[in-house]
Amino acid sequence: MDLPPVIVLAGAEAWFRDSAIAALRTRMFPEGDPGGACTRISARDPAQREQAFGAAEELRAGSLFGGGRLVVVDHPEALGAAGAVALGDPEDDGREPPGQGEDAAPAARSVRSPFVALCEPALEARIEGSLLVLSTSKPIKGQGAIPLASLAKKGALVVDCRALYDAPGPWERNAAEHEHELARHLARRARQAHGKTLALPEAHALTRAVGRELGDLEQALETLARHAGTRTSLGAEDLDACFRGTREEAVWALSEAVLDGRRAEALALLENALAQGLVDARGLAITQPESLFPVVCAALHAGWRRALAGAEALARGEPEGEVARAGGVPPFRAEAFVRRCRRQPARAWQLDNVHFLEAEEGVKTGAVPPATALTRLVVALVASVPPRP
């Protein structure tokens, strides 16, 4: 298949866009850049904006040693309407109102798209052996979309680089939680890049341990493959060995220690949190005891409620796997979670609630300092849970 003169990579997943650019570079220059053949320009960089305006001229310049060129313009939307005007303004259907994409009413189209303005010269010139690539996080459909119809009509190839679902899609009814696009992608990548088999439940668990960013997940797959060595399959034991504690803040480690009855570890973690503070979900430091109290209480209470729900479900005779899934526990941690839930009956978990009420009442009334209330709460909860064997 011959490459078109312009390719537009559109969507939120940067890994897809960068992978496509790398593949195009390899296809065009299998022996490497012969010299000045590859240029990448960021339209967000003021120092490179003029170069972005002249992307078509970059293509015509050719490489230092002759032959075609690959010119990549990142974030072309940053040129805006002013950029489209600077590039010329012929009458065509590539106009769009700000933030409306191609779905806007024709009468409202008053701002020309910089995508069309950048593509037109390269599409008209069709410079042999050269390629212009526009890379943007804007979607191909919906709010703020690129002008897909105009670009396709003029001859550009548009590639959808949207992020993958990390849960069953709205169209997938009655699907298991691990049956989603991202898990299937990871299973394919494990096979293609590393020659390993990765089942969908483990692929789903990997997304929960590492996150949904494909760049991070690619590194995680490489780590798993190295750990597995000559084994051809990646299992739960590999995930547990490589990613235990990943994305877990100190407060969650404290909660785990309390719920497993590890008294010395729980008190040491609490002492460290009170002395050095914690980091919240936004990356901000929490150091004051009155601010630490609700954060630690919330983490402990969330773990306690999950254990209570699991103990009640097990008492009703529900399958262990279903109990773990209902608690949002990844498959490779399911066995440990079930053991925790069985450590004491549901009634005992229920009685622990009084410790939370006492701690909150003491702080609310001012009778107990927050640091003291937290210490008492941790000691009371640990004492009520049979230690892990």
CA distances from 44 to 74, 79, 83, 355, 375 (A): 8, 8, 12, 54, 51
Domain at 6-160: CATH code: 3.40.50.300
The count of other CB atoms within 10 Å of the CB of residue 360 is: 17
Output the tens digit of pLDDT for each of the chain's 389 residues: 688 999 999 999 999 999 999 999 999 889 888 777 888 999 988 899 888 888 878 887 766 666 788 999 999 999 875 555 555 544 444 444 444 454 444 434 445 688 998 998 888 888 878 899 999 999 999 888 999 999 999 999 999 999 998 888 778 777 888 889 999 999 999 999 999 999 998 998 888 777 788 988 998 899 999 888 999 999 888 887 777 544 445 787 888 888 888 889 999 989 988 888 876 555 557 788 888 898 888 888 888 888 888 888 888 888 888 888 777 776 667 888 888 888 888 888 888 888 999 999 999 999 999 999 999 999 999 888 776 55
The count of other CB atoms within 10 Å of the CB of residue 240 is: 16
Q: Determine the Cα–Cα distance for residues 96 and 81; give it in Å rounded to an integer.
A: 10
Q: Determine the Cα–Cα distance for residues 270 and 265; give it in Å rounded to an integer.
A: 9
- Could you please state the CATH topology (level 3) that the domain comprising 250-384 is classified under: Zinc Finger, Delta Prime; domain 3 (1.20.272)
- Every domain of the chain and the residues it spans: 6-160, 181-243, 250-384
User: In terms of pTM, does the model score above 0.85?
Assistant: no
> Which residues touch 77 (CB under 8 Å, ≥6 apart)?
43, 114, 115, 136, 138, 146
Q: Determine the Cα–Cα distance for residues 170 and 107; give it in Å rounded to an integer.
A: 34
181-243: CATH class: mainly alpha
Q: Determine the Cα–Cα distance for residues 294 and 291; give it in Å rounded to an integer.
A: 6
Contact 91, 106 (CB under 8 A): no
Contact 310, 337 (CB under 8 A): yes
